[in-house]
């Protein structure tokens, strides 16, 4: 007799849930609607290995430890010389040092930061309005939101502390996030997980055992016909460029005058673009009344400052608008505990980056996948192992 668990969605949350359940002895079937696994952690195929927006893996959280224990962590660090090419856009120019107010604010303990106040109001009381706005714009790299100052002070401060921590927590999967996804998928297969790609599940009817819905919140809302599955997320323009190499290009430009971030990913991993080319990934959050063109225009202005002659150097370009695909955002008066709960009842569990789980960026998906699998294992009933090969879904 063997437990059986169905996982819908092959992103980071779904793969975490599948591996966790399989390591505990359950028979697991995972369904992914696309032809590749990874969700938002997919890496583009071809010569330019871009992620869906700038991605980093933070070594101060549980995801890092979990991956490392399983030898699933091919990461690289930024060389010191490249790290020194970190620039801040303030006062209409690029500067090497952040404002002192940002440094002071980063030292404040999140535990003493109010949940009910918005970040800008609280931070203004700590370091003044100019410093508070600069800090809010800086931390947008981990929020993908056009107005970080309007979010819960505790929520933003938790992320600010980790983004500015020294030595840096941010590391980068070698070869893009696909390398992590591929290793997780291989681990799942080694444990006996049955992975079905290009299989879109439209109904839970026929799914065997507990079901973990590890999709976007929007997709989960449709699949479960549950209108309560909503939470705030960001809206950001993504601009990816490959440019011919030029000596002295910055590693990062953080816009402190408005939320925006440009990062040269080949600074730490030259394999992400062909020889002689550099891969830049940018994200510029935009307000509900702004267009993709508005975000692209802001990005190009910052490129003009930091990457002289970039237009003549471009060898490849891609633009996109990410809406509701940038993780959970907590408004004043709310915390992660107020988001859609993982346990939906009747053997259905939710996982993803907008549900009730703590963490920074991908850690929310990981923590929720881990918790969903743990709960599913507790509620699953033993079933004959011979049924493992049956098709349990309705597509």
C-alpha atoms less than 13 angstroms from C-alpha of 115 in its C-beta half-sphere: 8
> Would you say residue 91 lies in a domain?
no
Q: Look-up: residue for tokens 């290995």?
A: 49
> Would you say residue 90 lies in a domain?
no
Say what percent of the chain tops pLDDT 90. 83
Report the CATH number that the domain containing residue 46 is assigned in CATH. 3.50.50.60
Both 240 and 299 in one domain: the answer is yes
Both 335 and 306 in one domain: the answer is no
Both 225 and 347 in one domain: the answer is yes
Both 296 and 351 in one domain: the answer is no
Q: Can you give the pLDDT at residue 52?
A: 80
Question: How many whole angstroms from its chain centre is CA 313?
Answer: 29
Report the CATH number that the domain containing residue 307 is assigned in CATH. 3.90.660.50
Q: Which residues of the chain have pLDDT under 50?
A: 382-395
Domain boundary, last residue among 297, 323, 349:
323
Q: Can you give the pLDDT at residue 394?
A: 34
Both 55 and 14 in one domain: the answer is yes
Q: Can you give the pLDDT at residue 51?
A: 86
Sheet with 27-31: strands ordered across = 194-196, 27-31, 4-8, 211-213, 348-350, 343-345
Q: Look-up: residue for tokens 């599948």?
A: 18
| Domain range enclosing 145 | 80-85+96-163
Domain boundary, last residue among 267, 294, 323:
323
> Would you say residue 314 lies in a domain?
yes
Of 19, 395, 2, 1, which Cα lies nearest the Cα of 203?
395
Q: Can you give the pLDDT at residue 387?
A: 32
Angle 195-178-235 from CA coordinates, rounded to 5°: 100
* Partners of 28 in beta bridges: 5
Q: Can you give the pLDDT at residue 325?
A: 83
> Would you say residue 61 lies in a domain?
yes
Q: Can you give the pLDDT at residue 393?
A: 39
pLDDT one-digit tens code per residue, 107-135: 999 999 999 999 999 999 999 999 999 99
d(CA 38, CA 151): 28
Both 224 and 339 in one domain: the answer is yes
Both 274 and 354 in one domain: the answer is no
Both 182 and 46 in one domain: the answer is yes
Of 314, 302, 182, which Cα lies nearest the Cα of 254?
302
pLDDT one-digit tens code per residue, 198-217: 999 999 998 889 999 999 99
> Would you say residue 395 lies in a domain?
no
Domain boundary, last residue among 163, 185, 205:
163
> Would you say residue 394 lies in a domain?
no
Number of domains in the chain: 3
d(CA 345, CA 362): 25
Q: Can you give the pLDDT at residue 380?
A: 61
Both 317 and 257 in one domain: the answer is yes
> Would you say residue 196 lies in a domain?
yes
Both 217 and 351 in one domain: the answer is yes
Q: What is the DSSP letter of 43?
A: B
> Would you say residue 168 lies in a domain?
no
Both 212 and 261 in one domain: the answer is no
What does the H/E/C string look like for 77-119? Answer: CCCHHHHCCEEEEECCEEECCCCHHHHHHHCCCHHHCCCCCEH
Both 224 and 359 in one domain: the answer is yes
The helix (H) or strand (E) run that includes residue 186 is helix 177-190
Query: Sign of the C-alpha dihedral, residues 42, 327, 232, 355?
Result: positive
């Amino acid at each position: 007799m063997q437990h059986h668990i169905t996982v819908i969605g092959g992103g980071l949350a779904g793969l975490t849930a599948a591996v966790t359940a399989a390591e505990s002895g359950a028979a697991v079937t995972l369904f992914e609607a696309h032809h590749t696994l990874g969700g938002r952690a997919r890496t583009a195929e071809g010569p330019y290995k871009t992620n869906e927006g700038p991605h980093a893996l933070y070594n101060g959280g549980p995801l890092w430890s979990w991956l490392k224990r399983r030898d699933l962590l091919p990461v690289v660090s930024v060389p010191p010389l490249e790290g020194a090419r970190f620039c801040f856009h303030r006062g209409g120019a690029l500067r090497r040092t952040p404002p002192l107010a940002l440094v002071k604010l980063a030292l404040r303990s999140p535990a003493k930061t109010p949940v009910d106040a918005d970040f800008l109001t609280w931070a203004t009381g700590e370091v003044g309005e100019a410093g508070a706005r600069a800090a809010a714009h800086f931390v947008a790299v981990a929020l993908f939101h056009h107005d970080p100052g309007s979010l819960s002070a505790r929520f933003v401060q938790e992320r600010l502390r980790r983004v500015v921590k020294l030595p840096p927590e941010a590391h980068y999967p070698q070869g893009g996030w696909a390398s992590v996804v591929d290793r997780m998928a291989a681990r799942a297969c080694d444990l006996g997980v049955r992975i079905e790609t290009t299989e879109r599940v439209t109904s839970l009817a026929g799914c065997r055992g507990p079901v973990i819905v590890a999709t976007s919140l929007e997709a989960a809302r449709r699949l479960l016909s549950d209108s309560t599955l909503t939470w705030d997320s960001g809206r950001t323009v993504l601009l990816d460029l490959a440019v011919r190499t030029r000596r002295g290009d910055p590693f990062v430009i953080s816009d402190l005058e408005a939320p925006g971030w440009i990062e040269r990913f080949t600074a730490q991993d030259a394999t992400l673009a062909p020889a002689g080319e550099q891969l830049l990934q940018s994200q510029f959050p935009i307000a509900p009344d702004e267009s993709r063109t508005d975000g692209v225009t802001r990005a190009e202005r910052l490129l003009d400052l930091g990457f002289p002659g970039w237009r003549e150097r471009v060898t490849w370009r891609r633009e996109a608008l990410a809406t509701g695909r940038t993780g959970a955002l907590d408004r004043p008066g709310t915390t992660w505990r107020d988001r859609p709960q993982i346990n939906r009842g009747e053997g259905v569990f939710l996982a993803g980056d907008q549900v009730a789980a703590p963490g920074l960026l991908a850690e929310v998906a990981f923590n929720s996948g881990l918790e969903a699998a743990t709960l599913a294992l507790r509620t699953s009933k033993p079933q004959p192992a011979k049924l493992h090969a049956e098709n349990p879904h309705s597509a």
